[in-house]
Amino acid sequence: MLARFHQLRRLLDLWRSEHARVVDAAAVSNLERVRWLSAVIASLNGLVVLVMAAQLSVSPANAQTHRWQVALLLAHAGMGLAMVACGVASHRFRHASRTRWGYVLPRLVVALGMLFSIAVAVIDQWVTPNITPFLIGCTVISVAIYIRPLIALYVYLASYAAFFVAMGWTQANATLLLSNRLNGVAACIMGWALSVMLWRKFTTIKLQQMQLEASNLQLQDKQRELERLTRSDGLTGLFNRNTFVELAENELNRAQRQGTATAILLMDLDYFKRINDTWGHPAGDTVLRHAALVTSSSVRSTDLVGRLGGEEFMVLLPATSLEGARRAAETVRRRMEANPARWNGLSIPVTVSIGVTGTTASQKRDFDSLYHDADQALYAAKQQGRNRVVAAPGA
């Protein structure tokens, strides 16, 4: 018995945490439901008002029937006006679902609906002993508005208390009064049970949607990360060779259409093998990352920087003349020389040789020919003693 009690308690705690997660979503849905529910109820109220007004104007009735007609007309007129006001308010505050109106307005509609159903059932006792309006009100409220189970319990308890008292105002027959009060208990229990079931269904569906949305976001993040990994060099974070070549070709095509010049820098770290042999490959990886950072920070944000492989890097400079490319290359070379790499407390000097070439739109050169010329210029820089910038002949 105690184990079942603890199991029930854990279930209720789970429900409480789940309900707290969907309460905002319920407020959004309820505010939208109030919009169409108020329109439907106001229309029905207006229809009843017209019918009652017609009855009062054309057919004479005894005093009790006349009193019933007048009271019903006034009740429906008041409810209709209240629903119109709620509909206008729900439209006005439709973008404020998570503010207090997103919670207050649906609860106000619930209170009005229950009070109206009690009022009509009480008025009907003058002409009929049934409590159909109260039964309908209990059902409609449970279906139309999402209410948390504990709040729904308070709503139906308060509604029954009001129903119990008010029923004695118009129903003088003790037997019928007892029957109606007992039937009212059944109506409230059924309304509350239906409200709980629909709330749990809403909670389950909404949590599944949240989980699905979270899974989709994770998949999108993983897809973006996969795309980044396939386009980037894993060590330095720069564009890898394939991506750089693709982007460079696109930029050359664009430059030809717009009639602008383009330049490239082909860079190779000096004596990189010596770094690996002296300090090891982890130090070499640190130097490569350092070189990538220095290069990226020394050029414009619109320039493309890639690692072609090993210790070889390339920079594409859109809308840049050969002279501008020489200056940019010299800036990279100076900063590389002035900022040694740091590894395990050691300072590792880094220098770079750079080959420069470029093209104008009229020359219509492709990437392969530019790469070939830049490679020749880089070879010349190596031959001339390294740590220098050399432009390709005829560029």
**Three-class HEC string of 208-264:** HHHHHHHHHHHHHHHHHHHHHHHHECCCCCCECHHHHHHHHHHHHHHHHHHCCCEEE
Q: Tokens 């008025």 sit at which residue?
A: 123
Tell me which residue of 59, 58, 51 sits closest to 77, measured CA to CA. 51
To the query of whether residue 311 is one of the catalytic residues in this protein, the response is yes
Q: Which of 213, 225, 249, 311 is catalytic?
A: 311
d(CA 309, CA 300): 22
Q: What is the DSSP-derived secondary structure letter of residue 145?
A: S
3-state secondary structure of 15: helix
CB-based contacts of 193, cutoff 8 Å, min separation 6: none
d(CA 234, CA 239): 9
d(CA 360, CA 258): 11
Q: Just list the catalytic residues.
A: 311
